[in-house]
Structure 1
Amino acid sequence: MKSIYSKILLLILISSSLYSYAWGLTGHRVIAEIAQNHLCGKTKREIKKIMGKERLAYWANWPDFIKSDTTGNWKQASAWHYINIDPQADFKAFEQNLKAQAGPTLYTQIKTLSAQIKDKRTSEKDRKIALIFLIHMMGDLSQPLHVGRAEDLGGNKIDVTYFGDKTNLHSVWDGKLVDSQKYSYTEYAQLLDIRTKDEVKQIQSGTLEDWLYDSHKIANRIYAQTPNNSKLSYDYQYKFNDTMERQLLYGGLRLAKLLNDLF
């Protein structure tokens, strides 16, 4: 009986963690699957040496699963999933604010993980963990509220109802908008990944700072159009579905660009 209770508690903790902190199972897997489709041959071979035969989507949610770990071994990783920045006037101001913040943050950790993966002195085990986290965090980067504001914990403190159910703004963007489309992650990846080579190249252009600013600007628009106690329904889906799908696609293509550059 105790064993059954422990398993149920673990599942609840995992579900709560996913619900509060990430794109959710589907969103992260969509991004990873799109990235997989844009890896060059050399990158695929190198990743297979590190990760084995599993596709990127298999590992995409692991950094959220471990938030339910009770040993405290991964406690320091919670801050790696986001960066808090107040609205900035332009890219220059954003970049200055971004670089002035004390780490670790989503920004600093993506750079740190990338360096660990490139460093041949990194152990095989640590390289795999770094790659798994990088897959996930590049997904977090494209979820606009992971580049949100400290005062409301990236929308977690903004109460809304979604089709009559009480929730918060962050949770709506983590999973509810994605899951409302009722696609599997492979279906959604296939439907979204239809850009031309020139369009893909344009989406993948820029720096890590540019990509974070892109999400930050979208976060500001979400905040402006979703005040506290908003009642969200079909009109909200209509207003933001294209933005949500854009972010899934951009997240996948930019993850692929980063991985191809690393390997």
Structure 2
Amino acid sequence: MKLFRKISLAACLSTLPFMTFAWGTNGHRISGEIASRYLTPKAAAAVKSILGNESIAMASNWADFIKSDENYKYLSTWHYVDFDKPMSQADMIGYLEKDTEVDAYTKMKFMIAELKKPSTTKENKLLYLRMLIHIVEDVHQPFHTGHKDDQGGNGFKVTWFAKPSNLHSVWDTELIEFQNLSYTEYVSWINFTTPAQVAQLQKQPISTWLYESSQIAEKLYTDVKPDEVLNYKYNFNHVDILNQQLLKGGVRLAGVLNDIFGR
């Protein structure tokens, strides 16, 4: 029986690099904590009325946590929007205007609309708020707007120092954990903005977020070769982009919540 359990565990772990997650636990908490610092008092009160004692930072990982529950399997495609090819900003806007897939773009728009409705049930408000927090953060991880044919970088194998990995996992977790900071320490490191920068980020539409992320992903695909070993130099060359995306995700999430619940 013990041998069977070990074999089963090994089989499960062997599939992890190909599962579609976004920022790891710390990454989501970083953006969530940043978002909480840009909420209006009215929005902060509304969020607390839905989440209770659960902070945005803690709520931000719920959508990954419940992937183990078959009842929530239908949410799996909400986390990303992959593209077949690079697009200009105009082409992407046109593509998204016609998008009818169950993906991050269509579901963010759906949840924003539902959270604005007074008639939405308390149960659904909790579900939609938790999912919206997570997915806004998700789409700032570049490979959540990556290529369909490699599952957003999950199929692009690399080695992180001596550990077998893939591009998606490197950006989900490896780079963030390499900084060796708690999520609150990380926020103190990167959370510096001017009012003008906040206003600019918060007025940009979701299509701009996705275009920016996809442009970053396209460059990241060309930065390395399959099976390449990534280490200190990769971190040195990319940590600023990583931090920029974590910060943008938090600031923009606050803007969305302020728009829903009141400025």
Q: Calculate the TM-score normalised by the size of structure 2.
A: 0.91
CA separation in 2, counterparts of 1:53 and 1:44?
Answer: 12
1:155-199 CA deviation, whole Å, 9 max, x = no partner?
000010010211111000000000100110111112111111112
| Structure 1 unaligned residues grouped into runs of 5+ | none
Residue 203 (structure 1) aligns with: 201
Residue 176 (structure 1) aligns with: 174
Residue 103 (structure 2) aligns with: 105
CA separation in 1, counterparts of 2:225 and 2:110?
Answer: 35
1:21 aligns with 2:21: yes
CA separation in 1, counterparts of 2:27 and 2:133?
Answer: 12
Amino acid at match of 2:33: E
Q: SS of the residue aligned with 1:73?
A: helix
The structure 2 residue matched to 1:126, chosen from 99, 118, 124, is 124
CA separation in 1, counterparts of 2:81 and 2:107?
Answer: 10
Pairwise CA RMSD = 2.2
1:105-132 CA deviation, whole Å, 9 max, x = no partner?
0000101111111111111011011000
Amino acid at match of 1:172: V
Residue 217 (structure 2) aligns with: 219
Equivalent residues in 2 for 1:114-153, closer than 5 Å: 114-153=112-151
Residue 193 (structure 1) aligns with: 191
1:208-229 CA deviation, whole Å, 9 max, x = no partner?
1111111111111111112211
Q: SS of the residue aligned with 1:142?
A: coil
Aligned residues: 255
CA separation in 1, counterparts of 2:141 and 2:26?
Answer: 13
1:36 aligns with 2:29: no
Report deviation, 1:89. Answer: 4.0
CA separation in 2, counterparts of 1:145 and 1:19?
Answer: 12
**Taking every aligned residue pair, what percent have the same amino acid on both sides?**
39
Report deviation, 1:231. Answer: 1.3
User: Does the 8 A contact of 1:160 with 1:228 survive in 2?
Assistant: yes
Amino acid at match of 1:109: K
**Cα–Cα, structure 1 residues 144 and 68, in superposed 2: closer, same or farther, change >3 Å?**
same
CA separation in 2, counterparts of 1:41 and 1:105?
Answer: 31
Report deviation, 1:152. Answer: 0.4
Residue 66 (structure 2) aligns with: 66
Equivalent residues in 2 for 1:148-163, closer than 5 Å: 148-163=146-161
The structure 1 residue matched to 2:75, chosen from 54, 74, 77, is 77
1:46-72 CA deviation, whole Å, 9 max, x = no partner?
111111122101111010011111xx2
Q: SS of the residue aligned with 2:139?
A: helix
Please say which of residues 18-27 and 104-113 is displaced more in the overlay: 18-27
Amino acid at match of 1:32: G
| Structure 2 unaligned residues grouped into runs of 5+ | none
**Cα–Cα, structure 1 residues 153 and 17, in superposed 2: closer, same or farther, change >3 Å?**
closer
Amino acid at match of 1:52: G
Amino acid at match of 1:22: A
Report deviation, 1:20. Answer: 4.6
User: Does the 8 A contact of 1:32 with 1:60 survive in 2?
Assistant: yes
Report deviation, 1:19. Answer: 7.5
Amino acid at match of 2:31: I
Amino acid at match of 1:76: Y
Q: Calculate the TM-score normalised by the size of structure 1.
A: 0.91
User: Does the 8 A contact of 1:24 with 1:175 survive in 2?
Assistant: yes
Amino acid at match of 1:240: H
